[in-house]
Amino acid sequence: MNEQNIFIVRCGEVALKGMNKPYFERMLAERIRGRLKKIENGEPIEVKRCEGLIFVRAEKSYEPEVIVREVSKVFGVASISPAVEAETDLDRIGEAAVEYMQRLIREKGVKTFKVEAKRADKNFPVKSPEIARIIGAKVLIGCKVLKVDVHHPDVLLFVDVRKDISYIYDAKVSGFGGLPLGTNGKGMVLLSGGIDSPVAAWMMAKRGMLIEAVHFHSYPYTSERAQEKVEELARILAGYCGRFKMHIVNLLPIQEQIVQHCPEEETTILVRRFMMRIAEKLAEKNGAGMLITGENLGQVASQTAEALVVTDASVSIPVMRPLIALDKTDIMEKAKEIGTFDTSIMPYEDCCTVFLPKHPVTKPKLAKILESEEKLAVADLTDAAVCAAETIQIFSE
Ligand code: ATP
Ligand code: MG
């Protein structure tokens, strides 16, 4: 049996990137290395690229499940398989396959199998179907309880024949796919405590974008617990996106001005425009090229087509809305899958619910909104909020 636990990591879409392929692969290997650093126990874990795959080798002191769990969370990973290796020689591969299947019989009571072989090394003199047949025959001799079932085998045993070393595995654990973090700039996400914005941030990060966040509160109208909830959501996100900065901004001074000077039904849209302006300034200061929100067409009054246009007009930086056309049920499914849902539904107030108008305008007109904003010191209020922002570092749990 192998001295180490070996894992084959497949790179998914990264493999399609043509000229940039080596760059994406290098970034992915680096992200996997960084992720595994977190669980290192003093004994080394090796991460190496080879022929379009990434190989992870860890001492036996590591639980294979832990390595699989950590690596499958890295964006850019299509799938990962715990594997064993053998010298590229049919007898050696056969011995390893027998040992592999004996373990599966012991641990899982496997009764049927089928071998699938792939010959990455085209110089190897035996063709793939023949390799599968030979290894299958050796397994049948070495494991008397097993039968071949070509249609519904308990175990599909893969044999990947490469130049010097070949690999044997059965399970493929899916990753999320996407692209390695840091291959697609940086975005500033407006992170509320709701269901949507954590999913929006996750989706952009999955496309390789580094994330930074801004959260708005209306303390003391919103509680400290509400902020803790957002920090908790941010920590869950950091489990995928790595450590990131979150800026915390008190919107109350701005909300009070709006309530005093502007029509009540415009409160929501006016507050949203301030949020965007503040986020834009923070993005500029911190090297983020775009904003990200969890907005979704038609979900609430502030997310009608007309309201989104008026919101957008408050900034010149591009605004990404990855959830714009998704159904709420699909967003909720995603939130459950990535682990943010249970925290998101905890019932704490958001700054948007403070001073909520009874009948918000659903089809705001930009000219009218600009007129209302003339009664406010927009630039000064924005700058003051940016100046007073508190910045914290978010680490994964
Ligand atoms: P979410 O579930 O993300 O809170 P929502 O459906 O409740 O979204 P709104 O409250 O209208 O919708 O917010 C729309 C978007 O505005 C959010 O997805 C988020 O990006 C941003 N946003 C709202 N409230 C805040 C906040 N307190 N801090 C930072 N961003 C916010
Ligand atoms: Mg919300």
Question: Residue 153: which region, alpha, beta or left (left: phi > 0; alpha: psi -120 to 50)?
Answer: beta
Residue 194, in any domain of the structure: yes
Residue 248 and residue 386 in one domain = yes
Residue 70 lies in a domain: yes
Domain CATH for 57: 3.30.70.1510
Do residues 19 and 95 both lie within one domain? no
What amino acid is encoded at 37 in this protein?
K
Is the pLDDT at 26 greater than 70? The verdict is yes
Task: Judge if 249 and 368 occupy the same domain.
Answer: yes
pTM, two decimals, is: 0.93
Q: What is the pLDDT of residue 15?
A: 62
Decide if 261 is inside a domain. Answer: yes
* Site of tokens 């246009």: 309
pLDDT digits (tens, 9 = 90+) for 75-99: 999 999 999 999 999 999 999 999 9
Number of domains in the chain: 3
Average pLDDT over residues 367-388: 98
244 and 316 within one domain: yes
Q: Are 288 and 190 part of one and the same domain?
A: yes
User: Which residues, 6 or more positions from 262, have their beta carbon under 8 angstroms from its beta carbon?
Assistant: 270, 372, 373, 375, 376
Q: Are residues 16 and 78 in the same domain?
A: yes
Residues 229 and 300 in one domain: yes
CA-closest residue to ligand 1 atom 30? 190
Q: What is the pLDDT of residue 351?
A: 75
Residue 349 lies in a domain: yes
pLDDT class of 52 with cuts at 50, 70, 90:
confident
**Domain with 376 in it: what CATH number?**
3.40.50.620
288 & 156 share domain: no
60 shares a domain with 193? no
102 & 68 share domain: no
User: Can you give the pLDDT at residue 97?
Assistant: 98
Q: What is the pLDDT of residue 298?
A: 86
Neighbours of ion ligand 2 (CB under 5 A): 192, 194, 350
The mean per-residue pLDDT over the stretch 7-34 comes to 86
Is residue 168 a part of any domain in this protein?
A: no
Output the domain CATH number for residue 111: 3.30.2130.30
DSSP secondary structure string for all residues of 120-189? S-TTSSS-HHHHHHHHHHHHHHH-TT-EE-SSS-SEEEEEEE-SSEEEEE---EE---S--TTSS-EEEE
Q: Whose CA is nearest to atom 16 of ligand 1?
A: 293
In sequence order, the 6+-apart residues with CB closer than 8 A to the CB of 92 are: 86
Task: Say if residue 184's pLDDT is above 70.
Answer: yes
Task: Give the number of the atom of ligand 1 that is nearest the alpha carbon of residue 189.
Answer: 20
Best CA proximity match to 65, nearest among 155, 166, 176, 171: 171
Which residues, including other chains, have CB under 8 Å from residue 147's CB and lie 6 or more apart? 111, 112, 113, 140
| Residue 220 and residue 146 in one domain | no
Bigger pLDDT: 20 or 274? Answer: 274
Range from 138-147, 228-237, 343-352 carrying the lowest mean pLDDT: 343-352
Residue of 190, 192, 319 to mutate, ligand 1, most atoms within 8 A of C-beta? 192
Q: Which domain holds residue 362?
A: 186-394
Least confident of 12-26, 179-193, 300-314, 325-339: 12-26
36 shares its domain with 122:
no
Residue 360 counted as domain residue:
yes
C-alpha distances (whole Å) from 2 to each of 11, 57, 79, 87, 116 are: 24, 10, 21, 11, 21
Residue 1: predicted pLDDT:
54
CA of 275 to the centre of ligand 2 (A): 13
Handedness of CA 84, 90, 94, 97 (dihedral sign): positive
Q: Which of 101, 126, 161 is the last residue of a domain?
A: 161
Asked if the structure places residue 166 within a domain, the reply is no
- Domain assignment present for residue 169? The answer is no
Tens of pLDDT, residue by residue over 315-345, are: 999 999 999 999 999 999 999 999 999 999 9
Any ligand 1 atom below 6 A from CB of 215: yes
Looking at the DSSP bridge assignments, the partners of residue 332 are: none
